[in-house]
Amino acid sequence: MYYLFRPKLPTRPTGRHVGLLACLLVWTALTPGHSGPQVVHDPDAQFNLKNAHGMEVRLASYGARITSIKVPDRNGVMTDIVLGFDTVEPYRSSVKKPYLGVTLGRYAGRIANGRFTLDGVEHVLAKNNGPNHNHGGVTGFDKVVWEAKQLRNGVQFSYTSPDGEEGYPGTLKARVTYTLTDANELIIDYRATTDRATPVNLSNHTYFNLAGEGSDTVLDHELMIDAEEMLAIDKTSVPTGKIAFVAGTPFDFRHPKPVGRDIDQTNEQLANGSGYDHTFVLNPKKGVKNPAATLYEKTSGRKMQVFTDQPGLQLYTANFLDGSLNGKSGKPYMKRSSLCLETQHFPDSPNQPRFPSTILRPGETYQTRTIYQFSVSDSIGE
């Protein structure tokens, strides 16, 4: 089942109406047999998915983003576990926009010096992160309105990125489909085609705290990542090209450990990222059968497993949140109060011949899947 949210204006607004407008939402229940609209062109639209166990996911057309995920704790208490806002407007109007819940594109991660060469032609991209290009540029996929199509158990978002947008070659037709299952899985399917060779690397940038949105810290969460190696970065957070073993370093999450156990160690890589902001090279696996990462919060018993067919996982510990944003709970979002687990190809791949290629060509289809599965447990291993 899903619900469509959209603001509804009164016929004759009064001062009171104007004051309440920002938080006014209309809930229109839509069942699989509903004959209502199947395609939504609404910049303020949000969609609520709910499964048989009461898990809820809310999505927005602006940025094709996740704005809420509510899952139970070990006592059955439902809590929102992702950072965000109740309405769409703050995502647009906030001075700082830290990619809350968004679909990243055309390229997730940094591209060094905002340029790359493809088939002998140099392409210059928008620089929006110091000397580098990051997450698709000044107006990436996170800052556009996607067309939404309502499905039986999900929502499909579509966006056509024109040739030359943010400096990228080719017209790219992108699609992101969110599906909520009764196994408490949120499945994200990415698809794209192009009429000209171009780099593509789509991902999701949701900030999680399994104790609940607005909680003070994520450093007490236990984390396990199925990776023997990680990508070293320079002082601007761009990969150097070196692939380093995690054994004996603060980046060794092969066995569960608290996120904060080693984060303040004296370590060049931690200093370069101001904490964890690194791509882990996932151990090879076929499809999405085995978890790439597991996150666990012991007080609530909530556990999240991440499955993906992508070669990399970006761990970001919200190092640059500074309390200037107040979210759904009204509490400020502080440094390291949440984390992102972004499934993706490697940053700066267009400039790194050793990395797996991210070039999509005409006639090919970019297609990948990521699953976030939620459960409750007495330990991370159960």
The CATH number for 257's domain is 2.70.98.10
Label residue 25 by pLDDT band (50, 70, 90).
very low
Residue 285: the pLDDT is 78
The three-point CA angle 134-339-71 to 5° equals 125
Label residue 32 by pLDDT band (50, 70, 90).
very low
What would the two tokens of residue 110 be? Answer: 């940094």
Alpha helices (runs of H) in 50-157, residue ranges in sequence order: 89-93
- Residue 304's H or E segment, with its range, is strand 302-308
Domain co-membership, 22 together with 155: yes
Residue 250: the pLDDT is 98
Residue 4: the pLDDT is 58
Domain co-membership, 200 together with 257: no
CA 87, CA 26: separation in Å to the nearest integer? 12
pLDDT, mean of residues 275-302? 93
How does pLDDT run across 211-221, given as a tens digit for each residue? 999 999 999 99
Q: Is residue 211 part of a domain?
A: no
C-beta separation of 296 from 222 below 8 A: yes
| Number of structural domains in the chain | 2
Domain co-membership, 57 together with 134: yes
Domain co-membership, 148 together with 78: yes
Alpha helices (runs of H) in the chain, residue ranges in sequence order: 15-20, 89-93, 268-273
The active-site residue, picked from 135, 166, 342, 345, is 342
Q: Is residue 23 part of a domain?
A: yes
How does pLDDT run across 172-194, given as a tens digit for each residue? 999 999 999 999 999 999 999 99
Is 205 in the active site?
Answer: yes
> Burial level of 122, CB count in 10 A (0-12/13-18/19+)?
exposed
The active-site residue, picked from 133, 205, 221, 278, is 205
- Using DSSP, state whether 21 is helix, strand or coil: helix
Pairing of strands 147-150, 39-40: antiparallel
Q: Is residue 263 part of a domain?
A: yes
Q: Is residue 79 part of a domain?
A: yes
How does pLDDT run across 111-169, given as a tens digit for each residue? 999 999 999 999 999 999 999 999 999 999 999 999 999 999 999 999 999 999 999 99
Residue 288: the pLDDT is 77
For the cut 50, the answer to whether the pLDDT of residue 29 exceeds it is no
For the cut 90, the answer to whether the pLDDT of residue 279 exceeds it is yes
Is 222 in the active site?
Answer: no
Residue 292: domain span: 222-376
